Amino acid sequence: MALAHNDCQSKCDWRPTGERYRDQPLFRCTGCKSEWAPTEKWTPKNVDGQIALEVAAARAACPA
């Protein structure tokens, strides 16, 4: 399974899905439906430019 990467809709709102991707928590943007997992090299931001608390916690818990 690969992570979904879709064109941005400028409605970014990253939320945990409750699903797992390669033993990591899976997050999905409610705007474009793109997906993110903590081992990705980028960190998603919401439309307001803020990083969701759940995303920040998952990033911090991920081994470098």
What's the whole-number average pLDDT of the chain? 95
pLDDT at 64: 66
Give the integer Cα–Cα distance in Å for 58 and 40: 11
pLDDT at 43: 96
In a domain, 5, yes or no: no
Furthest-apart CA pair in the chain: how many Å? 30
pLDDT at 42: 95
**Full domain range(s) for residue 41:** 14-61
In a domain, 18, yes or no: yes
Q: How many domains does the chain have?
A: 1
pLDDT at 4: 96
Cα dist from 31 to 8, 46, 63, whole Å: 8, 10, 28
Instruction: Please list the rounded mean pLDDT of every run of 10 residues in the chain (64 residues).
Output: 92 97 96 96 96 97 81
In a domain, 39, yes or no: yes
